[in-house]
């Protein structure tokens, strides 16, 4: 791989990272548990920062039981041509390091939480839509999450 193709590859990932900024709506399906409707915000503290504070919140409509409100925070960083996702804690602790495939529209990552393995697959469809699938397996957890994000406030043609 030449240095210009590495730069191009990195630039495509940077464009994906930049497209995350702002407000999103999402729908999440958790088979055998329920559906989720929510919002997510990627907020950059200042224009020169290469990270976003991420917050998602919404309602889990469980198949059994009533609706359940929730929220989750992360920190998304772009460094050295890579997107890394950290838990919202001090000191920083890595959750996922996205490994982009050759076409730069899909990325994979794994996280081991004790003995439970989280396998993440990201698909960046365009600057206003992306999908995330988590497959979680281990002695304590076994489930799949399918989430579709759509940029808020954009008119679709």
**What are the residue ranges in the chain where pLDDT is below 70?**
1-10, 154-157
At residue 157, the pLDDT reads 44
At residue 11, the pLDDT reads 86
- Residue 7: DSSP 8-state: H
Q: Give the pTM.
A: 0.89
At residue 7, the pLDDT reads 40
CATH for 3-151 is: 2.40.128.20
At residue 48, the pLDDT reads 83
- pLDDT tens profile 138-149: 999 999 999 999
**Helix (H) or strand (E) run with residue 59 in it:** strand 51-62
Structure tokens, 23:
């407000």
SS3 (DSSP) at 14:
helix
Structure tokens, 15:
């464009």
Angstrom distances, CA of residue 35 to CA of 25, 32, 40, 114: 14, 9, 16, 26
To the nearest whole number, what is the mean pLDDT of the chain? 91
């Amino acid at each position: 791989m030449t240095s210009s193709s590495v730069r191009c590859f990195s630039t495509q990932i940077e464009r994906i990272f930049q497209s995350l900024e702002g407000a999103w709506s999402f729908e999440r399906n958790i088979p055998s548990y329920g559906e989720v409707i929510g919002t997510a915000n990627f907020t950059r503290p200042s224009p020169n920062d290469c990270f976003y504070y991420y917050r998602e919140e919404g309602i889990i409509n469980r198949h059994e039981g009533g609706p359940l409100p929730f929220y989750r925070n992360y920190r998304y960083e772009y460094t050295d041509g890579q997107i890394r996702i950290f838990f919202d804690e001090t000191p920083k602790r890595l959750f996922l390091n996205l490994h982009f495939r050759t076409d730069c529209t899909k990325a994979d990552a794994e996280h081991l939480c004790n003995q439970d393995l989280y396998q993440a697959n990201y698909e960046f469809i365009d600057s206003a839509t992306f999908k995330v699938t988590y497959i979680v397996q281990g002695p304590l957890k076994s489930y799949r999450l399918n989430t579709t994000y759509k940029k808020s406030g954009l008119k679709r043609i």
